């Protein structure tokens, strides 16, 4: 039984204040964090940690991202209601829920079959129904392209060309790029045949695997 009581809502409101202090400004993003019950994504033993601003294990060697990182990436997507958004790295599904709370259509792809199946079953129980795909998101999702926005939630060695190709004119890609241990966040805007890049330092993700990612 999924329960969201006053204690958890209180902790969630505190988390929102922490993210605001750390520099998240978009009130729509903060409202989404305030709405999605992050503790639903935690096993019983870790429940007390659900509203800390930290990444946590979700099994299969993967993590639910740190709330600040989720909020930061979401903010950098500059979402507009109705946007068609591709998320690469479904993981627990938490980021997908935040995106859905922003009023956009979400296509989410996961490489790990266990996580793909688990999250595809679990998210609708919470009332969230993005379009789920299993496969190598380093190649994007050509069958459903183009997208207004693309978010990559695993650390890439390079910016895959396929992702840029699958953006509409004026679209935005937010992707962590670097070595296996640490990355910088790139916001890439596709505009009039050019790519306008903005870089933000200080992020650490699990690796993006696959053809345009790390090999293992």
Catalytic residues: 65
DSSP codes of every residue in 34-67: HHS-GGGGS-GGGGGGTTSSS-EEEETTEEEPPH
What is the C-alpha end-to-end distance of the chain, expressed in Å?
Answer: 37
Residue of the chain from 62, 74, 148, 166 that contacts ligand SAM (CB under 6 A):
62
Length of the chain: 216
DSSP string, 79-98: --TT-EEEEE--TTSHHHHH
Residues of this chain, 188-207, that bind ligand SAM according to CB under 6 A: 205-206
Please identify, among the stretches 9-17, 104-112, 162-170, 183-191, the one whose residues bind ligand SAM according to the rule CB under 6 A. Answer: 104-112
- Tell me if the bond preceding 146 is cis, omega within 30° of 0: yes
Residue 138 touches ligand SAM, criterion: CB under 6 A? yes
Position 155 contacts ligand SAM (CB under 6 A): no
Among 137, 140, 171, 176, the residue binding ligand SAM under the rule CB under 6 A is 137
Of the two residues 16 and 64, which places its CB atom closer to ligand SAM in the complex? 64
65 touching ligand SAM, by CB under 6 A = yes
Quote the least distance from Cβ 10 to ligand SAM, whole Å: 23
CB atoms under 10 Å from CB of 215, counted, come to 8
- Find the part of the chain contacting ligand SAM (CB under 6 A) among 60-68, 123-131, 172-180, 191-199: 60-68
- The piece of 31-39, 58-66, 171-179, 182-190 that touches ligand SAM (CB under 6 A) is 58-66
The contacts of residue 148 (CB under 8 Å, 6+ apart) are: 80, 83, 84, 85, 104, 167, 168, 170, 171, 172
Residues 6+ apart with CB under 8 A from 49: 42, 56
- Contacts with ligand SAM by CB under 6 A lie at 62-65, 88-89, 91-92, 94-95, 109-112, 115, 136-138, 153-154, 205-206, 208-210, 213
């Amino acid at each position: 039984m999924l329960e969201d009581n006053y204690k958890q809502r209180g902790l969630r409101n505190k988390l929102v204040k922490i993210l605001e202090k750390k520099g998240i400004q978009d009130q729509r993003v903060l409202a989404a964090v305030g709405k999605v019950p992050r503790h639903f994504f935690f096993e019983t033993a870790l429940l007390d940690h659900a509203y800390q601003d930290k990444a946590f294990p979700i099994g299969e060697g993967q993590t639910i991202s740190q709330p600040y990182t989720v909020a930061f990436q979401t903010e950098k997507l500059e979402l507009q209601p109705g946007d068609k958004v591709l998320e690469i790295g479904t993981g627990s599904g938490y980021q997908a829920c935040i995106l859905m709370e922003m009023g956009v259509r979400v296509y989410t792809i996961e490489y790990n079959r266990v996580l793909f199946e688990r999250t595809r079953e679990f998210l609708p129980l919470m009332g969230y129904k993005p379009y789920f795909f299993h496969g190598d998101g380093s190649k994007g999702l050509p069958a459903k392209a183009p997208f207004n926005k693309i978010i990559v939630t695993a650390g890439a060695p390079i910016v895959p060309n396929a992702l840029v190709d699958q953006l509409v004119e004026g679209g935005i890609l937010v992707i962590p790029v670097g070595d296996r241990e640490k990355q910088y966040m790139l916001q890439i805007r596709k505009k009039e045949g050019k790519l306008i890049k903005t870089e933000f330092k200080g992020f650490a993700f699990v690796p993006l695997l696959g053809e345009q990612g790390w090999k293992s």
